[in-house]
């Protein structure tokens, strides 16, 4: 087990990639703190982690609020003694063409996707620095390269890349790595509800010819959180089936 005994916090863990990552971390031996803005679904994910023979802690909280982020990290330290790994997975989209996008749509997406990533990292990094070991994995997207109708989402995910590289430089000398994963299309509940005709168009843009399963992104999280990735920091892994290659 590659994460045996490590303590991990996964945000946005109630469903999709976050849930798959929490479950996978449990199978890899990590003690997992599962978070989402709402508690719905978290207990089921925690139960799966425990069924894999590990320990899980449910902490609902809003990543856009500094106090909540500090509370999540504090809960990990209180119950498990420390926090080794942060998976910044929480994210939302509020799509609209730029000319029609409301200020509220812009602010909501930037608050969760970019500010939330920063606040969670800010809460977690001091303890990692003190212990001389840590892993932070942020979530960007192929959408960071630009996508029609997603000015807010693209800006937030491009911002995550800049944040990742800056934090990597600031914390490398303390034994802490900071990287990002940029998924392409993944079969989450959101995409599952898309009409088949649109799914076919999405698949046509992916060179490998399919949509990823959430556990495939979780596999990248496991690698970047492990000792195997100790010499990798400040990097963005596009787990997108080759979709970004021609962009």
Would you please indicate which residues are annotated as catalytic (active-site) residues?
153
CA distance 163 to 68: 20
Per DSSP, the three-state class of 243 is coil
DSSP state of 115: I
Best CA proximity match to 199, nearest among 181, 217, 212, 216: 212
Q: Which residue blocks in 52-173 are alpha helix, DSSP H? A: 66-80, 103-110, 116-131, 151-171
Q: Which residue has the tokens 């999709």?
A: 16
Whether residue 63 contacts residue 37, with contact meaning beta carbons closer than 8 Å, is answered with yes
**How does strand 176-183 pair with strand 134-139?**
parallel
């Amino acid at each position: 087990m590659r994460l045996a005994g490590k303590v991990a916090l996964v945000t946005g863990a109630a469903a999709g990639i976050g849930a798959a990552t929490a479950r996978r971390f449990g199978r890899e031996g990590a003690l997992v703190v599962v978070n989402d803005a709402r508690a719905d679904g978290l207990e089921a994910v925690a139960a799966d982690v425990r069924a894999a023979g590990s320990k899980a802690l449910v902490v609902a909280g809003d990543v856009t609020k500094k106090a909540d982020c500090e509370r999540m990290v504090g809960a990990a330290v209180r119950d498990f003694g420390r926090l080794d790994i942060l998976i910044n997975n929480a994210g939302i989209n509020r799509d609209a063409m730029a000319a029609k996008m409301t200020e509220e749509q812009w602010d909501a997406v930037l608050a969760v996707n970019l500010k939330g990533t920063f606040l969670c990292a800010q809460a977690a990094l001091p303890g990692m620095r003190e212990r001389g070991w840590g892993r932070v994995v942020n979530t960007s997207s192929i959408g960071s390269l630009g996508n029609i109708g997603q000015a807010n989402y693209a800006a937030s995910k491009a911002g995550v890349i800049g944040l990742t590289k800056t934090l990597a430089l600031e914390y490398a000398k303390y034994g802490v790595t900071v990287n990002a994963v940029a998924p392409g299309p993944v079969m989450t509940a959101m995409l599952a509800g898309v009409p088949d005709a649109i799914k076919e168009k999405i698949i046509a843009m992916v060179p490998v010819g399919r949509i990823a399963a959430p556990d495939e992104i979780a596999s990248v999280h496991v690698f970047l959180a492990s000792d195997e990735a100790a010499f990798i920091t400040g990097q963005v892994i596009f787990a997108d089936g080759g979709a970004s290659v021609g962009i």
